[in-house]
A and B are shown apart, each in its own frame.
Chain A
Amino acid sequence: MSDHSENLPAFCHPASPKLLYAVFFALIFLTLLTVAVSALGPPMGMPRAFAFPIAMIFATMKAFLVCAFFMHMWWDKGFNILAFLSSLLFVSLFIGMTLMDTSHYQDTIEAFDVQQLTGVEIAE
């Protein structure tokens, strides 16, 4: 993967330009594909609602390419990768736990909406 010549120190891993260009074009391709799916709708008669999950899958593929090759994670130490992935775990915990406890004030908001709609003055 990397053109690692003899006189470079062990921690120096220059990525081959071919690989970097290939990754770049793959990223561009996925971006254009994402925009196309968003603009034209998902392919093969899939429901419209699939456009968003497809966009997120493409984004994750792009994120993988950037992490693995541009960020040299492919050749990096296991501990660094672990630290990075753990942050994703904590963010998903953060999002997941918070999602389980929402709408606590929804009643108050709805009451306010009703008051706004039935009141003399309609908001803005």
Chain B
Amino acid sequence: MAVADTHEIHDDHHHDHGEFIAHHFDGPEQQFDSGKLGIWLFLVTEILFFGGLFVAYTLYRSNHPEIFEQAHVFLNKYLGGLNTIVLLFSSLTMALGVRAAQLGKNKNCAVYVLITMVCAAVFLGVKAVEYSHKWDMGILVRSAFNLTYTHPAPVTSVGKWLHVSDYLVYISVIPTLLLVGFLVASLMGKLMEKNVFSKFMLGLSIMVGGYFLGVGVGLIFMDVAEGGANESHASIQTADQPLMLHAMTQETREDASHDENHDKTAESHPAADHVDGQAHHEEHAHAGGEAFSAHHPDPEKLSRNVGIFFSIYYCMTGLHAIHIIGGIVVLSWILWRSLLGQWRSDYFGPVDYVGLYWHLVDLIWIYLFPLLYLID
């Protein structure tokens, strides 16, 4: 459709506005077009918002390409690829959801929107695995960057029980509380015979379940990627065996390491072992099996500014993750209204607008993935 001829819709200028047509609009089409222009302008501000970070990235990369060469080995391109596919799939279901709303098929729309929300939560779960893995290794923003290559043994009981990073446990506290809350609310709704509310809350619980699915898939995926030996950093899973052993024997080993051979010392204090880090890494590659790969750059040879790459990485992916969370919130609103059956062929604007936002979040990830994960 070309630029709208606004006079066209005056032909049947009626004022028996439908249920959701605001009175200041001439009709559904004008309302739809206004909303659409509004969401496009919002997306423009979003692009400019992210544009600032892309400027930081471009400047730093063009001036210091060596930092990017050194830093990218700490990112797992297979996990990034997995997340890309999850987001692309969520974009497909979102587009199908918009189509369902356009045809007035509210039930289908609710299902598609829910799948989109689950994908969003899976994305966050994988991201949680990625982030916690980096925090464990001391890969933080520049001011806190303190690379250790090792994973500290979990301290929390859940961390010990599941053999996962403590940070992952901390991050997962909120989703766990949400899951319990949504399930209880769904049950309450059922008991009080508020069916739509109960369904909605059940949908939200399924969505939060997606987060835990993402965590599980992320952990397994990291494991598999490690096995392929293409990846250059240790995963939580593969580090499990030596890590647990390490945890159980840490105290005795530290005592023993003073009079034992160099290999043991290196295992107990890998980061502190500045003198011959290279030797340590070679030894480790043989002794420690899959856990630590020989691809690791020597910490002494890393630029002091490698952390700046991770400052940029955390800002870009963090802002993107905030957008994913925002997307989940607005998608729940769409889910709620789908369950109420409010979409019709002449009123589906909100689904379309939220869909556009969701596709933009996907679009930004399409660029973030090669820019951050595929540096070679």
Q: Nearest Cβ in chain A — how far from B230, in angstroms?
A: 7
Q: Is the CB of B99 within 8 A of A24?
A: no
Q: Is the CB of A77 within 8 A of B3?
A: yes
Q: Which of A71, A99, A106 contacts B356 (CB 8 A)?
A: A71
User: Measured between alpha carbons, how far is A34 from B374 in the docked complex, in Å?
Assistant: 8
Is A118 an interface position by the 8 A CB rule?
Answer: no
Q: Is the CB of A34 within 8 A of B363?
A: no
- Please give the number of chain A residues whose Cβ is less than 8 angstroms from any Cβ of chain B in the complex: 60
- Please give the number of chain B residues whose Cβ is less than 8 angstroms from any Cβ of chain A in the complex: 59
Q: Is the CB of B58 within 8 A of A84?
A: no
Q: Is the CB of B99 within 8 A of A17?
A: yes
Is B92 an interface position by the 8 A CB rule?
Answer: yes
Q: Nearest Cβ in chain A — how far from B270, in angstroms?
A: 16
Is B340 an interface position by the 8 A CB rule?
Answer: no
Q: Which of A66, A77, A102, A103 contacts B91 (CB 8 A)?
A: A66
Given known contacts A9-B28, A63-B366, A27 and B88 CB-to-CB distance under 8 angstroms:
yes
- Closest residue on chain A to residue B39 by CB atoms: A80
Number of A-B contacts (CB under 8 A): 159
Stretch at the interface among B30-38, B280-288, B289-297, B315-323: B30-38
Q: Is the CB of A52 within 8 A of B376?
A: yes
User: Measured between alpha carbons, how far is A35 from B3 in the docked complex, in Å?
Assistant: 40
Given known contacts A15-B99, A80-B36, A55 and B47 CB-to-CB distance under 8 angstroms:
no
Within 8 A of B (CB), among A67-123: 67, 69-72, 75-80, 83-84, 86-88, 90-91, 94-95, 98-99, 102-103, 106, 116, 123
User: Measured between alpha carbons, how far is A32 from B58 in the docked complex, in Å?
Assistant: 25
Is B248 an interface position by the 8 A CB rule?
Answer: no
Is A1 an interface position by the 8 A CB rule?
Answer: no
Given known contacts A20-B99, A35-B81, A88-B47, A9 and B345 CB-to-CB distance under 8 angstroms:
yes
Q: Is the CB of B359 within 8 A of A14?
A: no
Q: Is the CB of A20 within 8 A of B92?
A: yes
Is A39 an interface position by the 8 A CB rule?
Answer: yes
Q: Is the CB of B37 within 8 A of A70?
A: no
Q: Across the interface, which residues of A come within 8 angstroms of B165, CB to CB?
A: none
Q: Is the CB of B345 within 8 A of A78?
A: no
Q: Is the CB of A84 within 8 A of B43?
A: yes
Q: Which of A8, A80, A87, A106 contacts B48 (CB 8 A)?
A: A87
Tell me the dominant secondary structure on chain B's binding face: helix
Within 8 A of A (CB), among B6-41: 28-29, 32-33, 36-37, 40-41
Q: Is the CB of B102 within 8 A of A12?
A: yes
Q: Is the CB of B359 within 8 A of A70?
A: yes
Within 8 A of A (CB), among B325-376: 345-346, 348, 352, 355-356, 359-360, 362-363, 366-367, 369-370, 374-376
- Closest residue on chain B to residue A124 by CB atoms: B304
Q: Nearest Cβ in chain A — how far from B32, in angstroms?
A: 5
Q: Is the CB of A10 within 8 A of B1?
A: yes
Given known contacts A11-B1, A14-B103, A71-B356, A86 and B44 CB-to-CB distance under 8 angstroms:
yes
Q: Which of B43, B77, B345, B376 contacts A12 (CB 8 A)?
A: B345
- Closest residue on chain B to residue A103 by CB atoms: B63
Q: Is the CB of B51 within 8 A of A91?
A: yes
User: Measured between alpha carbons, how far is A28 from B84 in the docked complex, in Å?
Assistant: 9
- Closest residue on chain B to residue A98 by CB atoms: B55
Within 8 A of B (CB), among A1-56: 7-15, 17, 20-21, 23-24, 27-28, 31-32, 34-35, 38-39, 48, 51-52, 55-56
Given known contacts A52-B370, A71-B356, A28 and B99 CB-to-CB distance under 8 angstroms:
no
Q: Across the interface, which residues of B come within 8 angstroms of A31, CB to CB?
A: 81, 84-85, 88, 369
Given known contacts A14-B103, A31-B85, A80 and B37 CB-to-CB distance under 8 angstroms:
yes
- Closest residue on chain B to residue A8 by CB atoms: B345
User: Measured between alpha carbons, how far is A94 from B50 in the docked complex, in Å?
Assistant: 12
Listed A/B pairs (18) with beta-carbon separation below 8 Å: A13-B102, A20-B95, A27-B88, A34-B369, A34-B370, A35-B81, A38-B374, A55-B374, A62-B366, A66-B363, A71-B359, A77-B1, A83-B41, A87-B43, A87-B44, A94-B52, A98-B55, A102-B62
